[in-house]
Amino acid sequence: MQAELKADCAALAFMPEPVVFHIQKGRLVKMHDPGAFGRGDCYLVDAGPKIYLWIGPKSTADEKFLTAASAVMKDTARKGHADIDRIEGGNEPESFKSLFDDFRLTDEDTAGILRKVQMETHEHKLWRVHREGDETYFAEVSREKPSLRSDDVFILDAWDTFFVWRGKEASSREKFDATILARRYDAERVGVQEIELIEEGSEPDEFLKLLD
């Protein structure tokens, strides 16, 4: 029994410190106070072999799907070896709370990419997907043709259809991540949406009209 206890303690001693990322307007932002979780937000907790998706009870659909997509991308980078767990805010197991010296819930609520008006009026949006170093970032850009760049991938949310526009110079990782992002968003939104891949130079009229 003592041998087993020592082995367990040794394993805990070598467990990596969890790194907490906050979803802020489409970006993963590393938290300096990793024990605080805002009820209106979502977080990705990278604990080495395990990745936690902490979903705030007041978070928006875009924050939820961006968190899920980011976890899938990190898992892909580890060749699928990570164990991904979804944590519903307010119902955290003790094993999760014990990762932090000062775990607590706050009333923080960072604005998401999608505004409430978009959900009510089906407003269309254009997002840029690009890589910086080893991370993939998502950012809303003006819904117009000049926003498109050959070295990036863009997702046009037309509500019933997600158009994934792939620039000629975009990396294969950007193309992959954009497709994952579109699929994750489709999974979070009520109803059925189509995902249409578009190569630069072969844009259908329907897509171009939405950028006018």
- Averaged pLDDT, 202-212: 91
Same domain? 31 vs 95:
yes
Same domain? 63 vs 129:
no
d(CA 12, CA 208): 55
Angle, CA 27 vertex, CA 39 and CA 44 arms, to 5°:
50
Same domain? 175 vs 90:
no
Same domain? 138 vs 61:
no
Angle, CA 71 vertex, CA 76 and CA 164 arms, to 5°:
75
In a domain, 111, yes or no: no
Residue 55, SS3 per DSSP: strand
d(CA 26, CA 202): 28
CATH label of the domain that carries residue 17: 3.40.20.10
Same domain? 98 vs 123:
no
Of 49, 74, 106, the residue that ends a domain is: 106
Domain count, the chain: 2
Same domain? 99 vs 7:
yes
What is the model's pLDDT at position 32? 79
What is the model's pLDDT at position 201? 94
Same domain? 76 vs 28:
yes
Beta strands per DSSP E along the chain? 19-24, 27-30, 36-38, 42-47, 50-55, 83-88, 104-106, 125-132, 135-141, 153-157, 161-166, 194-199
d(CA 133, CA 5): 41
173, 170, 175: which is closest to 197 by C-alpha?
Answer: 175
Same domain? 7 vs 102:
yes
Name beta bridge partners: 110. none
Quote the domain boundaries for residue 83. Answer: 2-106
d(CA 152, CA 137): 11
d(CA 85, CA 200): 37
Residue 94, SS3 per DSSP: helix
Residue 4, SS3 per DSSP: helix
What is the model's pLDDT at position 169? 95
What is the model's pLDDT at position 60? 75
What is the model's pLDDT at position 206? 92
CA atoms within 13 A on the CB side of 178: 29
d(CA 71, CA 58): 20
- Residue 164's CB is within 10 A of a number of other CB atoms, namely 21
- Averaged pLDDT, 110-120: 46
Q: What interhelical angle do 172-188 and 61-77 show, nearest 10?
A: 140
| Residue 12 predicted with pLDDT over 50 | no
- Averaged pLDDT, 51-78: 74
